[in-house]
């Protein structure tokens, strides 16, 4: 059963896994939690534009046999606002009494947790195989939308400066065109936190059709992206309803990119140093 303390965060993290009616309910409850605690099941159904049966199913999915039990748990979450920020909607607990150093320390500890969660699922043999394929490929193209596009640019810059022929794409038209022009000699590297972006799914499907090796960097091993990719790298997670694309999510993506970059340098240190020095000279 969903614990009282984690109810809102559990709804947010599983929002995409609910049926269409459940997603409507989740969106309404997350936006209007303080109102939901005082309305009837019929009122909630009306406001979320779903049937009453859908509300009952939604509650049962979360471990509550009755709507009233769900509202009781939700009410406890809502009353926690009186003690500071909503702890179930932020990735770590904050208090209105925290000073700047307290908040900074909690943020640092949270980032450490995210990075630990990124390291834990690493499979050394799989990473070694990925490094082999990157070393041997003709081109490597990084695909990312939104904040994942920043990680794609970062990866492209890092690998280009040690001599790999790399690209970064985050315009959907250019993504589709480039993916359709790849071959079995190339790698298509897709970065997506949830692994469900329409542009990313279409691009990886096009790249796969052309025979390119496909890599996915995502938090969701059960995502559509992960199910299509030849190789999957998993990142830690602290995205919440309030925070959205957080620094923790980006840090975990950049960490995995840096891991691959470092292993590539480790494989051919003299070559990497020579190329890196050449690029440094070009910038003087």
Q: 241 and 195: one domain?
A: yes
pLDDT digits (tens, 9 = 90+) for 43-94: 999 999 999 999 999 999 998 999 998 988 888 777 665 444 444 444 556 6
pLDDT at 245: 55
Distances (CA, A) of 72 to 38, 53, 78: 10, 19, 10
- 97 in a structural domain: no
- 105 in a structural domain: no
pLDDT at 241: 42
CA dist 49 and 66 (Å) reads: 20
- Beta pairing, strands 166-169 & 231-234: unpaired
pLDDT at 259: 97
Q: Which domain holds residue 47?
A: 4-83
Which of 19-28, 79-88, 92-101, 243-252 shows the lowest per-residue confidence on average (mean pLDDT)? Answer: 79-88
Q: 40 and 164: one domain?
A: no
Contact predicate 150/144, CB 8 Å: yes
Count of domains forming the chain? 2
CA dist 15 and 67 (Å) reads: 18
CA dist 195 and 192 (Å) reads: 5
CATH number, domain containing residue 24: 1.10.10.10
pLDDT at 82: 46
Terminal-to-terminal C-alpha distance of the chain: 61
CA angle in degrees (0–180, nearest 5) for 74-75-77: 65
Assign 4 a pLDDT band (cuts: 50, 70, 90): very low
Contact predicate 183/212, CB 8 Å: yes
Q: 124 and 265: one domain?
A: yes
Q: Could you say which DSSP state residue 95 is in?
A: -
CA dist 225 and 33 (Å) reads: 32
Q: What are phi and psi of 108, to 5 degrees?
A: -60, -45
CATH number, domain containing residue 224: 3.40.50.10490
Helix 100-119 / helix 247-267 crossing angle, nearest 10 deg: 50
Distances (CA, A) of 58 to 4, 67, 88, 241: 16, 9, 19, 18
Q: 255 and 157: one domain?
A: yes
Q: 160 and 234: one domain?
A: yes
Q: 140 and 259: one domain?
A: yes
Contact predicate 265/159, CB 8 Å: no
pTM as predicted: 0.69
pLDDT digits (tens, 9 = 90+) for 34-43: 889 889 999 9
pLDDT digits (tens, 9 = 90+) for 218-237: 988 889 999 999 999 999 87
How many residues are given for the chain? Answer: 284
CA dist 146 and 195 (Å) reads: 13
Contact predicate 84/94, CB 8 Å: yes
Strands of the sheet with 140-144, listed across from one edge: 166-169, 140-144, 187-191, 213-218, 231-234
- 99 in a structural domain: no
Which of 105-119, 181-195, 232-246 shows the lowest per-residue confidence on average (mean pLDDT)? Answer: 232-246
- pLDDT of 26 > 80? The answer is yes
- pLDDT of 208 > 50? The answer is yes
Q: Could you say which DSSP state residue 2 is in?
A: -
């Amino acid at each position: 059963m969903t614990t009282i303390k984690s109810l809102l965060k559990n709804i947010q993290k599983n929002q995409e896994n609910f049926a269409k009616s459940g997603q409507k309910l989740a969106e309404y409850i997350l936006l209007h939690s303080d109102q939901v605690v005082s309305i009837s099941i019929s009122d909630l159904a009306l406001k979320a534009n779903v049937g009453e049966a859908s509300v009952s199913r939604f509650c049962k999915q979360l471990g509550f046999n009755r709507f009233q039990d769900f509202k009781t748990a939700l009410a406890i979450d809502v009353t926690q606002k009186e003690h500071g920020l909503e702890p179930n909607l932020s990735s770590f607990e904050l208090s209105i009494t925290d000073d700047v150093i307290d908040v900074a320390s909690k943020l640092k500890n949270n980032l450490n947790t995210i990075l630990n969660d990124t390291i834990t699922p690493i499979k050394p043999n799989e990473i070694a195989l990925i490094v082999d394929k990157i070393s041997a490929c003709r081109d490597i193209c990084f695909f990312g939308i939104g904040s994942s596009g920043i990680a794609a640019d970062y990866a492209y810059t890092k690998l280009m400066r040690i001599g790999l022929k790399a690209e970064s794409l985050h315009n959907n038209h250019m993504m589709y065109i480039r993916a359709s022009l790849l071959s079995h000699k190339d790698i298509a590297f897709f970065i997506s936190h949830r692994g469900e972006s329409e542009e990313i799914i279409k691009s990886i499907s096009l790249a796969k059709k052309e025979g390119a090796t496909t890599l996915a960097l995502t938090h969701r091993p059960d995502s559509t992206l992960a199910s299509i990719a030849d190789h999957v790298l998993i990142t830690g997670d602290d995205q919440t309803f309030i925070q959205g694309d957080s620094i923790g999510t980006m840090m975990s993506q950049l960490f995995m990119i840096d891991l691959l970059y470092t292993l590539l340098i480790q494989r051919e240190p003299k070559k990497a140093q020579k190329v890196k020095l050449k690029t440094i000279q070009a910038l003087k």
